[in-house]
Each structure stands twice: as structure tokens, then as C-alpha cells.
Amino acid sequence: MRKIDLAKTPLRDLNQDLHRQSAGTNEPDWEIVNSMGFHAVAAGVDAPININIRGSVGYYCGGMNKQASITVHGSAGPGVAENMMSGNVRITGDASQYAGATGHGGMLLIEGNAASRCGVSMKGIDIVVKGNIGHLSAFMAQSGHLVVLGDAGDALGDSIYEAKLFVRGKVKSLGADCIEKEMRPEHHDAIKKLLKRAGITDVKSSEFKRYGSARKLYNFNIDNADAY
């Protein structure tokens, strides 16, 4: 295992080393200690490697991740896993605002709570939050899944496109063009698969409600002007 101490090694050097990794690397396992809230830790990784970060991180940890499995043993600042393409990012604590924003693929698992705008403009990423999420989560979410075991704040799914939202707890309010939808067999199957990937075995798909687009804002209509 390659062990990097950010109290001794500059963050730029760490990220440059991570960027040099590729498929078939002889350094597949990395441990980062003394993360001390640094920003952009392990951002832009494009290799099938395992990265364990011991401590909390600042902005954009795991941003643009591709292939890597990243675990933060702590909490994360704004924009964790922003624009992720593939791989996995796991936060054992809480995540700040816009976690998983614009993500195209992979899975983001947040074991604590997520703040506002979780999954904003998501484009295919799968996000599982064991706790609660804040207001305006899944704003303009285009595709992918957001699974929330706790509660959701105001304006969930505002201006949503075709992402699928599943909430186990209470939803404070729904955003423009977001409505509760029927849970069909394929949606139960999707939740089961996502929970299994997240290592959650004690929750049933029947405990969730599904939310998605009413499809009334796809094209401008003067009758819906107040909703834009």
C-alpha cells in the first residue's frame, strides 16, 4: 500500500502521482493521512485504484473521478464527487452542499447527511444517502438515481428532467414540475440493486416513495409561466 502523509507531502504532488496511475498499475492501493480539510483531494483520478482518505476533506474531493474507488473516513466539503464519470466515492460522515453535482456515472454513497442541492444537475450518477438531504436537491436532475433513506428538504426535484428520486422519509416540499409517481416493479428492482451496491441490507424497497418529472416544463407554455 502506498501511504501519503499530507502533513509532509504537498497536495499537488499527491494528485500528480494519482494522475500518473493507469490500468495495470503496481500501486492499486493508496492511503492518505492528515487530509486536514484540503480541497480537491484525489480529484481527476482516472485509474481502477483504491484510495482511503483518513480524515475530513474540503471542496471537490473525488471530483471528475473515473474508475477509482475513493473512501473518505470523515466528512466532505462542497462538491464531493462533482462531475464523476465512473467508480465509487464513499463518505462515512456528512457531505456539504451540491454533492455529486453534474455527475455522469458511478456511485456516490453518503453515510451521514447531505446538505442543499445534493445531486444538482445529475446526468447519470447514482447517489445513495443514508441520512437526510437539504433543500433544492436534484435541481434540474437529468438522469440517474437519488436514493434517500432519511428526509428531504424544500423544493425536491425542482425543474427535474428524467432522474428518478426515491425517498424513504418525509419530503418537506416538491419543486416546480416534480410530483410523486407510482412505484412499479422496475422501480423496486432498481432500489434493491442500488441498496445492494451500497451495502445496505436492512431496508426494503416498499418503504420508499418515487418522485419525478410531471413533464410540463419541457417546452415553454405561457399557462405555466409562474412555475418557471
CA distance 224 to 217: 8
20 Cβ neighbours under 8 A, 6+ residues apart? none
pLDDT for 42 equals 98
pLDDT for 220 equals 67
CA distance 41 to 9: 12
Q: Which SS3 state, helix, strand or coil, does residue 30 take? A: strand
Taking the whole predicted model, whether its pTM rises above 0.85 is answered as: yes
pLDDT for 218 equals 72
pLDDT for 46 equals 97
187 Cβ neighbours under 8 A, 6+ residues apart? 164, 166, 205, 210
Domain span at residue 10 reads: 2-227
CATH value at residue 162: 2.160.20.60
The count of structural domains within the chain is: 1
pLDDT for 217 equals 78
CA distance 222 to 161: 19
pLDDT for 94 equals 98
Per-residue pLDDT of the chain (228 residues; tens, 9 = 90+): 999 999 999 999 999 999 999 999 999 999 999 999 999 999 999 999 999 999 999 999 999 999 999 999 999 999 999 999 999 999 999 999 999 999 999 999 999 999 999 999 999 999 999 999 999 999 999 999 999 999 999 999 999 999 999 999 999 999 999 999 999 999 999 999 999 999 999 999 999 999 999 998 777 676 766 765
pLDDT for 223 equals 73
